[in-house]
Amino acid sequence: MGEAHAERYGHGHDWPLRSPFETGIRGRCPRCGEGHLFDGFLKLAPRCEVCGLDFSFADPADGPAFFVICFGCVPAVVFGLWIEVAFQAPYWVHLVTTLPALLLTCIPPLRPLKGWLVASQYVYKAEEGKLVRPDDAAPPPLPARAA
Protein backbone atom coordinates (compact mmCIF):
# COMPACT_ATOMS: atom_id res chain seq x y z
CA MET A 1 0.00 0.00 0.00
CA GLY A 2 1.35 3.38 -0.93
CA GLU A 3 1.70 6.51 1.13
CA ALA A 4 -1.28 8.10 -0.64
CA HIS A 5 -3.42 5.08 0.27
CA ALA A 6 -2.34 5.30 3.92
CA GLU A 7 -3.13 9.03 4.01
CA ARG A 8 -6.47 8.58 2.30
CA TYR A 9 -7.73 5.91 4.66
CA GLY A 10 -5.98 7.05 7.83
CA HIS A 11 -3.74 4.02 8.36
CA GLY A 12 -1.34 4.61 11.20
CA HIS A 13 -4.03 6.32 13.26
CA ASP A 14 -6.49 4.72 15.63
CA TRP A 15 -9.69 5.98 14.05
CA PRO A 16 -12.75 3.99 15.10
CA LEU A 17 -14.81 2.45 12.31
CA ARG A 18 -17.92 4.58 11.92
CA SER A 19 -21.17 3.66 10.25
CA PRO A 20 -21.36 5.21 6.76
CA PHE A 21 -25.09 5.59 7.25
CA GLU A 22 -24.78 7.61 10.47
CA THR A 23 -21.94 9.88 9.34
CA GLY A 24 -23.18 10.26 5.76
CA ILE A 25 -26.77 11.11 6.61
CA ARG A 26 -25.58 13.77 9.05
CA GLY A 27 -23.03 15.13 6.55
CA ARG A 28 -20.07 14.42 8.83
CA CYS A 29 -16.55 13.22 8.07
CA PRO A 30 -16.52 9.44 7.67
CA ARG A 31 -13.19 9.15 9.53
CA CYS A 32 -13.62 11.31 12.64
CA GLY A 33 -17.39 11.85 12.62
CA GLU A 34 -16.94 15.48 13.65
CA GLY A 35 -15.91 17.55 10.64
CA HIS A 36 -18.26 18.68 7.90
CA LEU A 37 -18.46 16.72 4.68
CA PHE A 38 -20.10 19.48 2.64
CA ASP A 39 -19.10 22.99 1.70
CA GLY A 40 -22.52 24.11 0.46
CA PHE A 41 -25.68 22.17 -0.30
CA LEU A 42 -24.13 19.43 -2.46
CA LYS A 43 -20.51 20.55 -2.94
CA LEU A 44 -18.03 18.43 -1.02
CA ALA A 45 -15.51 20.21 1.16
CA PRO A 46 -11.89 19.73 0.06
CA ARG A 47 -10.96 18.15 3.42
CA CYS A 48 -12.21 17.64 6.95
CA GLU A 49 -11.53 20.65 9.14
CA VAL A 50 -11.09 18.41 12.22
CA CYS A 51 -8.97 15.41 11.16
CA GLY A 52 -7.70 16.65 7.78
CA LEU A 53 -9.07 13.74 5.70
CA ASP A 54 -8.76 14.63 2.02
CA PHE A 55 -12.14 14.09 0.33
CA SER A 56 -10.65 13.88 -3.17
CA PHE A 57 -11.25 10.10 -3.10
CA ALA A 58 -15.01 10.71 -3.16
CA ASP A 59 -16.86 10.33 -6.42
CA PRO A 60 -20.54 9.52 -5.89
CA ALA A 61 -21.21 10.53 -9.53
CA ASP A 62 -24.93 10.31 -10.33
CA GLY A 63 -25.75 7.83 -7.56
CA PRO A 64 -27.74 10.24 -5.37
CA ALA A 65 -29.75 11.52 -8.34
CA PHE A 66 -30.48 7.97 -9.49
CA PHE A 67 -31.84 6.94 -6.09
CA VAL A 68 -33.92 10.11 -5.80
CA ILE A 69 -35.38 9.64 -9.28
CA CYS A 70 -36.28 6.00 -8.63
CA PHE A 71 -37.63 6.31 -5.12
CA GLY A 72 -38.81 9.92 -4.99
CA CYS A 73 -39.62 11.33 -8.39
CA VAL A 74 -41.37 8.32 -9.86
CA PRO A 75 -43.93 8.02 -7.01
CA ALA A 76 -44.50 11.79 -7.04
CA VAL A 77 -45.13 11.77 -10.80
CA VAL A 78 -47.48 8.79 -10.43
CA PHE A 79 -49.32 10.77 -7.73
CA GLY A 80 -49.67 13.73 -10.10
CA LEU A 81 -50.88 11.49 -12.92
CA TRP A 82 -53.41 9.86 -10.60
CA ILE A 83 -54.80 13.28 -9.63
CA GLU A 84 -55.07 14.23 -13.29
CA VAL A 85 -56.72 11.01 -14.45
CA ALA A 86 -59.04 10.55 -11.47
CA PHE A 87 -60.19 14.15 -11.05
CA GLN A 88 -59.19 15.97 -14.27
CA ALA A 89 -57.79 18.59 -11.95
CA PRO A 90 -57.08 22.15 -13.08
CA TYR A 91 -53.50 23.42 -13.15
CA TRP A 92 -53.79 25.21 -9.80
CA VAL A 93 -54.52 21.89 -8.07
CA HIS A 94 -51.31 20.46 -9.47
CA LEU A 95 -49.52 23.62 -8.38
CA VAL A 96 -50.53 23.04 -4.75
CA THR A 97 -50.30 19.22 -4.72
CA THR A 98 -48.01 17.74 -7.36
CA LEU A 99 -45.35 20.45 -7.39
CA PRO A 100 -44.77 20.36 -3.60
CA ALA A 101 -44.76 16.55 -3.71
CA LEU A 102 -42.08 16.63 -6.41
CA LEU A 103 -39.98 19.22 -4.62
CA LEU A 104 -40.20 17.49 -1.23
CA THR A 105 -39.37 14.05 -2.58
CA CYS A 106 -36.54 15.18 -4.86
CA ILE A 107 -34.49 17.92 -3.22
CA PRO A 108 -34.17 17.09 0.52
CA PRO A 109 -32.90 13.49 0.04
CA LEU A 110 -30.01 14.48 -2.27
CA ARG A 111 -27.60 15.66 0.43
CA PRO A 112 -28.05 12.74 2.86
CA LEU A 113 -27.80 10.23 0.01
CA LYS A 114 -24.63 11.85 -1.33
CA GLY A 115 -23.15 11.87 2.18
CA TRP A 116 -24.01 8.21 2.65
CA LEU A 117 -22.41 7.25 -0.68
CA VAL A 118 -19.22 9.22 0.07
CA ALA A 119 -18.97 7.73 3.57
CA SER A 120 -19.53 4.25 2.11
CA GLN A 121 -16.71 4.83 -0.38
CA TYR A 122 -14.41 5.70 2.51
CA VAL A 123 -15.44 2.84 4.82
CA TYR A 124 -15.33 0.16 2.12
CA LYS A 125 -12.23 1.67 0.44
CA ALA A 126 -13.97 1.83 -2.94
CA GLU A 127 -11.71 2.90 -5.74
CA GLU A 128 -11.85 3.17 -9.49
CA GLY A 129 -11.74 -0.21 -11.17
CA LYS A 130 -8.54 -1.14 -12.95
CA LEU A 131 -8.16 -3.60 -15.77
CA VAL A 132 -5.48 -6.21 -15.35
CA ARG A 133 -3.94 -7.56 -18.52
CA PRO A 134 -3.08 -11.28 -18.57
CA ASP A 135 0.65 -10.54 -18.87
CA ASP A 136 0.49 -8.24 -15.81
CA ALA A 137 -1.08 -10.95 -13.66
CA ALA A 138 1.21 -13.78 -14.75
CA PRO A 139 3.75 -14.91 -12.16
CA PRO A 140 7.41 -14.36 -13.00
CA PRO A 141 9.07 -17.27 -14.83
CA LEU A 142 10.93 -19.84 -12.74
CA PRO A 143 14.70 -19.87 -13.07
CA ALA A 144 16.09 -22.64 -15.26
CA ARG A 145 17.72 -25.53 -13.40
CA ALA A 146 21.24 -26.58 -14.22
CA ALA A 147 21.37 -30.06 -15.72
Residue 23 belongs to some domain of the structure: yes
Higher-scoring residue by pLDDT: 65, 139 = 65
Select the more confidently predicted residue: 56 or 129. 56
Chain centre distance of CA 21: 10
Q: Tell me whether residue 141 is in a domain.
A: no
**64 belongs to a structural domain:** yes
Q: Helical H runs in 10-97?
A: 20-26, 63-68, 74-87, 91-96
Q: What is the pLDDT of residue 5?
A: 47
pLDDT score of 4 = 52
Structural domain boundaries, residue 72:
7-125
Q: Is residue 142 part of a domain?
A: no
- pLDDT bin (cut points 50, 70, 90) of residue 38 is very high
pLDDT of residue 2 exceeding 50: no
pLDDT at 131 over 60: yes
pLDDT at 135: 65
pLDDT for the residue numbered 144: 72
147 within domain boundaries:
no
Q: Is residue 92 part of a domain?
A: yes
The Cα 102–Cα 144 span in angstroms is: 71
136/87: higher pLDDT: 87
Query: Do the domain assignments include residue 132?
Result: no
How many structural domains are present in the chain?
1
Lowest mean pLDDT among 37-41, 45-49, 125-129: 125-129
Which residues, at least 6 apart from 24, have a Cβ–Cβ distance to it below 8 Å?
30, 37, 112, 114, 115, 116, 117, 118, 119, 120
Query: Does 2 fall in a domain?
Result: no
Which has more pLDDT, 116 or 12?
A: 116
Give pLDDT tens digits for 79-117: 999 999 999 999 999 999 999 999 999 999 999 999 999
